[in-house]
Structure 1
Amino acid sequence: MIRRMGQTLSVLLLGFTLGSAPALKAVAAPPETAPPELTTVLEQIETAANAQDLDELIEFYSPEFTNTDGFDREQLAEALEQLWQQYPQLTYRLELQSWEQSGATLTAETITYIEGTGINYGRTLTLAAVVRSRQQLTRGQVVSQEILSERNQLSSGDNPPDVTIMLPEQAAVAAPFNFDAIVQEPLGDRLLLGAALDEGTTAEDFFLARPLNLELLSAGGLFKIGTTPEQADDRWISAVLIREDGTTVISQRLRVR
């Protein structure tokens, strides 16, 4: 459950965002000037996602659909099906930030908000996510997507830790970066377990399970220094923090450029 949180949300957001920059650079226009052909498709995608209607939703995606994490149309459908089985009560809200047109291609930059609950091994999980993305739309179908920034949080228990993370959205290749996950409440005499995870964002990573190694934390959080890959990539950086009264998992996308 913990390992797949970030990956699963990225795939979920493919269900109602449009993405990737056009070959010919155009001037981005404000959302209130967007043409009906764009706003209507966005509304229909959001409606299908809220209804968890996979058959209707997948029709908005081209058979040649690609995204920067390597998901194709078939993998998108499979991942959405898995996600909705685990989170049967999700609410999606999509905000158009800007749009461009280059020939027959429309490009939309959006912010997507997700909230809801699910059940895992008898425990109720509360989910919240915010994703900014940019996608291309041609003839009423999404053909490509780029995720610009993404953060999500999963919590469970009666009193999950209130956690603030500090991580840049983008870093240079082969460079150190700081990752801090700070629990806001005083630790007192309570035990706190934690782990920091650095994972890939690709379709292959999504279906690959990994173990979780927790450590006993003497301070109120995690304070780590990582190193980015030696080539451009996107990474999922996550903090897992567990107390006897609750668990919080926060993940953020780190773009390496």
Structure 2
Amino acid sequence: MSNQINLLLRRSLVAVNRKSTFFLIAFSLITGWQSVKAVTPSNAPPSLTNLLVQIDTAATKGDIKTVMQYYSPNFTHGDGLTRPNMEKALASLWQRYPKLRYTTQLQSWKTQGNVTIAETVTQISGLPSTNSQNLALNTTIRSRQRISGSQIIQQDILSERTQITSGAKPPQIDIKLPQQVKVGQQYTFDAIVQEPLSEDYLLGAALEEPVKPEKYLNPTPVNLELLSAGGLFKVGTAPATPGSQWVSAVIMRGDGTTMVTQRVQIVK
């Protein structure tokens, strides 16, 4: 009976974690600039570096009003997010993860008329409050931003990968998944637990879903099942139309759970 209760609790935690993950992914594209000054090319305009530092400072303080001032009223996102639902995502994220740390490397920048285009790689790590079952997260995101004046007018995610762990001893997982596949193509998805199983049982689930704005705010429930091997081993089929998908693996063993979500680009 205790195992059944623990499983129900874990399922609830997975759904909450997934929601936080998607919020974090959306949020990181505009705030992951903490180390940008140290790695910006020497010829980058000061107005760009100063803007990024200002955004990072406001976001680290959880100052939603100031952060939203850096969004254009006509802000667009490659995933279909708008300025209003981005604000909702940020507010919810900061309630669940009050401490976030960002380290971003500016990969390239250029100008097109009055618009600056900056491509970055952001490493994000953060811990929520102490009563949240030792939740920890790590995210790597490659993104491209279009900036006009002091406001972000467009964002696109080029690649992303997020890991959320909970419990005293979350399993260490090695993920094998392509970042890009062709429409209709089959691909393999492996999530292998690195430690010996001993007498532990593994519970897990794999999830594939299209990247849509409503998914940021309404996460898909995940039901864990007993695994007969040391991980998840799945074969997926890409959709018939180009776009982006989130592919996730959730694995629980003993006193810990690990969830990894990666974006897969579907191309012609």
Q: What TM-score results when the alignment is normalised by the length of structure 2?
A: 0.87
1:9 is the counterpart of 2:50: no
1:125 is the counterpart of 2:140: no
* 1:67-98 deviation digits (Å, cap 9, x = unpaired): 11111111111100001101111112222111
Q: CA RMSD in A?
A: 1.7
Alignment-mate amino acid for residue 149 of structure 2: R
Describe how 1:170-209 pairs up with structure 2 within 5 A.
170-209=180-219
- Residue pair 2:32, 2:124 contacting (<8 A) in 1 also: no
Report what 1:55 is aligned to.
65
Alignment-mate amino acid for residue 25 of structure 2: S
Report what 2:90 is aligned to.
80
Structure 1 residue 120, shift from structure 2 partner: 9.3
- Residue pair 1:14, 1:76 contacting (<8 A) in 2 also: no
Distance 1:208 1:102 in 2: 36
Structure 1 residue 210, shift from structure 2 partner: 2.7
Structure 1 residue 124, shift from structure 2 partner: 2.4
Query: Which of 148, 167, 171 does residue 161 from structure 1 map onto?
Result: 171
Structure 1 residue 219, shift from structure 2 partner: 1.1
Distance 2:191 2:43 in 1: 40
Alignment-mate amino acid for residue 7 of structure 1: F
- Residues paired across the two proteins, number: 246
* 1:153-202 deviation digits (Å, cap 9, x = unpaired): 10011111011101111111111111110110011221010000112222
1:215 is the counterpart of 2:219: no
Q: What TM-score results when the alignment is normalised by the length of structure 1?
A: 0.91
Report what 1:146 is aligned to.
156
Report what 2:146 is aligned to.
136
Once structures 1 and 2 are overlaid, which stretch shifts more, 38-47 or 210-219?
A: 210-219
Distance verdict in 2 for CA 1:250–1:201, change over 3 Å:
same
1:36 is the counterpart of 2:46: yes
Structure 1 residue 5, shift from structure 2 partner: 4.1
- Residue pair 1:125, 1:156 contacting (<8 A) in 2 also: yes
Alignment-mate amino acid for residue 86 of structure 2: L
- Residue pair 2:76, 2:154 contacting (<8 A) in 1 also: yes
Distance 2:42 2:245 in 1: 34
Alignment-mate amino acid for residue 184 of structure 2: A
Which one has the bigger helix percentage?
A: 2
Distance 1:130 1:122 in 2: 22
Distance verdict in 2 for CA 1:198–1:121, change over 3 Å:
farther
Structure 1 residue 121, shift from structure 2 partner: 7.4
Alignment-mate amino acid for residue 134 of structure 1: R
Identity value in percent: 45
Distance 1:32 1:173 in 2: 41
Query: Which of 101, 104, 129 does residue 111 from structure 2 map onto?
Result: 101
Distance 1:141 1:242 in 2: 42
Distance 1:133 1:209 in 2: 22
Structure 1 residue 213, shift from structure 2 partner: 1.8
1:238 is the counterpart of 2:248: yes
Distance 2:21 2:265 in 1: 14
Alignment-mate amino acid for residue 246 of structure 2: W
Instruction: Please state whether the residue corresponding to 1:123 is helix, strand or coil.
Output: coil
Gaps of 5+ in 2: 1-15, 34-39
Gaps of 5+ in 1: 19-29
Distance verdict in 2 for CA 1:5–1:120, change over 3 Å:
farther
